[in-house]
Amino acid sequence: MTLHISPIHAFQDNYIWCLYSGKHGVVVDPGDAKPVLAFFKEHGLTLSDILLTHHHWDHTNGLPELVAAFSNVKVWGPHSDKIHGIDCVLGEGDMVSLPSIACDFSVIEVPGHTLDHIAYYGSAGLFCGDTLFSAGCGRLFEGSPAQMEHSLAKLRALPPATNVFCTHEYTLANLKFATTVEPLNTDLLEYQRWAIAQREQHKPTLPSTLAKELAVNPFLRCQQPPVMTAVNQHWNTQQAGEHSVFAGLRRWKDQF
Ligand code: ZN
Ligand code: FE
């Protein structure tokens, strides 16, 4: 049976990704139960599993209502004392097997945005929560720049054809910053034109692909001379190492 992956809109700009096949569905980061229940009703689906990437409320608040609405829902998530109701606690390299939709994932620990943050990677794609966004990355609420850069390096090493399912529609705002950093990156400018057209038609810019992000996302391009130069000029520094470029880029974006 075919696997479908659809975004369910929540709040201002959250996407709750729904993977479904036949009559069964799985959701990633359900911050709100209502739109999920409506989608499942509309498509005649039964919820079998919930995957969580990190503890923030806009990714977890729908949990109690969804677990109550369906029987035998399995909840997967990270080691975290801030999330209640996880059945299967996951760490680096653990496997998630979802027989209801014939889908498997492996777990990648990606601390930075939060310390408990994990990502799910499998043939269906990469579900990276608030770690990697299209043309951007998550804010460092809990982790250090070095931690986040190490986490992004793990994601960057995945196959370029990987579909990237981010949990927020932040692309246009991220592109404003990215084009300030790399005004001459033609892939980036072309992508920005496409993204503006998508949003004008109220269509998501996601999923992205890793290949696309490697070409346009400044946070994955800290070793590229134009990005290094832009960061050093912005902060008026002469940093050579990749780590300090990433830290400078993240700090620049925070104030942008
Ligand atoms: Zn978050
Ligand atoms: Fe979020």
Per-residue model confidence (pLDDT) at position 149: 96
How far, in Å, CA of 96 to CA of 76, rounded? 8
Q: Which ligand is nearest to the CA of 170?
A: 2
- Whether residue 192 sits in one domain with residue 122: no
Q: 59 an active-site residue? A: yes
Q: 49 an active-site residue? A: no
Give me the chain's average pLDDT, please. 96
Domain boundary at 110, 137, 165, which? 165
Residue of 123, 144, 133, 159 lying closest to 53 (CA atoms) = 133
In the predicted structure, residue 118 carries a pLDDT above the cut 70: yes
pLDDT tens per residue, range 149-173: 999 999 999 999 999 999 999 999 9
Q: Average of pLDDT values for 41-65?
A: 98
Give residue 89's domain range: 4-165
The β-bridge partners of 103 are 98
Q: Which ligand is nearest to the CA of 143?
A: 1
In the predicted structure, residue 243 carries a pLDDT above the cut 90: no
- Whether residue 113 sits in one domain with residue 17: yes
Question: How many domains does the chain divide into?
Answer: 2
- Whether residue 182 sits in one domain with residue 131: no
Q: Which is the catalytic residue, given 24, 55, 117, 168?
A: 168
- Whether residue 141 sits in one domain with residue 39: yes
Q: 58 an active-site residue? A: yes
Q: If you write DSSP's letter for every residue of 75-98 in order, what string do you get?
A: EEEES-TT----SEEE-TT-EEEE
- Whether residue 246 sits in one domain with residue 151: no
In the predicted structure, residue 239 carries a pLDDT above the cut 90: no
Per-residue model confidence (pLDDT) at position 185: 98
- Whether residue 234 sits in one domain with residue 111: no
- Whether residue 199 sits in one domain with residue 158: no
- Which pLDDT band, with edges at 50, 70 and 90, does 240 fall under? low
